[in-house]
């Protein structure tokens, strides 16, 4: 079996690592032999003490932070839970929105008969909030490029929220209609900015990655 490619590291110190995940690569190990290649494994091949703090969907690309050691993992996990980690994503969606910015406030829950899909559930769903603003529009393609801020961090939140307001993400095999999914060779969703307090010093850190689409 060929060795996995080396991870793209944007930052590494004694307490944390920031790496770039490709679309189609798992964040953490999956089932079976073919599920063992993932960003976490690639990072651990370089820094054996790297610990997972959060995840990106397999189809999503972009920035992920790893902790080095349990103390840093606890500090970063608390920061995510307290929503003091600031994340931004860039996406391209079908259609053009009727405003320059807005919010999607719709509760989400697992769609158990159709796992791993999630769904809007106005009765039993968990509160979920996404802020968005328009970066650009393409009238010829009838698409809009958005920057997204997930205030909460539910599974598939951005994908489900955008579909719910009638603007599914191009290339989304789970939530977009087939004709919208087919308009891109991958999910056009990229974790483009990550800002957090250093888990040891508390110093502000911010990283950016331009979307590859």
Give the bridge partners for 208, in sequence order. Answer: 193
Per-residue tokens: 97: 């929105």
Start-end of H helices in the chain: 39-46, 70-81, 157-164, 178-181
Phi, psi of 34 (to 5 degrees): -75, -15
Q: Which of 37, 49, 57, 105 is catalytic?
A: 57
Cis peptide before 116 (omega within 30 of 0): yes
The residue among 53, 77, 88 whose CA lies nearest residue 158 is 88
For residue 179, the SS3 value is: helix
User: How many other CB atoms sit within 10 Å of the CB of residue 76?
Assistant: 24
Active-site annotation holds for 57: yes
User: How many other CB atoms sit within 10 Å of the CB of residue 36?
Assistant: 13
Active site amino acids: 57
């Amino acid at each position: 079996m060929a060795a996995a490619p080396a991870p793209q590291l944007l930052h590494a110190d004694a307490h944390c690592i920031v790496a770039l995940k490709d679309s189609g690569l798992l964040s953490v190990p999956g089932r079976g032999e073919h599920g063992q290649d993932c960003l976490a494994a690639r990072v651990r091949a370089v820094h054996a003490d790297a610990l997972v703090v959060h995840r990106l969907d397999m189809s999503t690309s972009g920035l992920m932070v790893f902790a080095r050691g349990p103390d840093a993992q606890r500090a970063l996990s608390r920061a995510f839970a307290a929503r003091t980690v600031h994340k931004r994503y860039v996406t391209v969606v079908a259609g053009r929105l009727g405003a320059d910015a807005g919010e999607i406030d719709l509760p989400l829950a697992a769609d158990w008969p159709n796992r791993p899909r999630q769904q809007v559930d106005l009765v039993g769903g968990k509160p979920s909030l996404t802020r968005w603003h328009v970066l650009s529009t393409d009238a010829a393609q009838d698409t809009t490029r958005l920057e997204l801020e997930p205030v909460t961090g539910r599974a598939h939140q951005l994908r489900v929220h955008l579909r719910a307001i009638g603007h599914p993400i191009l290339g989304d095999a789970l939530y977009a209609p087939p004709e919208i999914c087919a308009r891109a060779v991958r999910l056009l969703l990229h974790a483009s900015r990550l800002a957090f307090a250093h888990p040891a010093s508390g110093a502000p850190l911010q990283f950016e990655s331009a979307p590859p689409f």
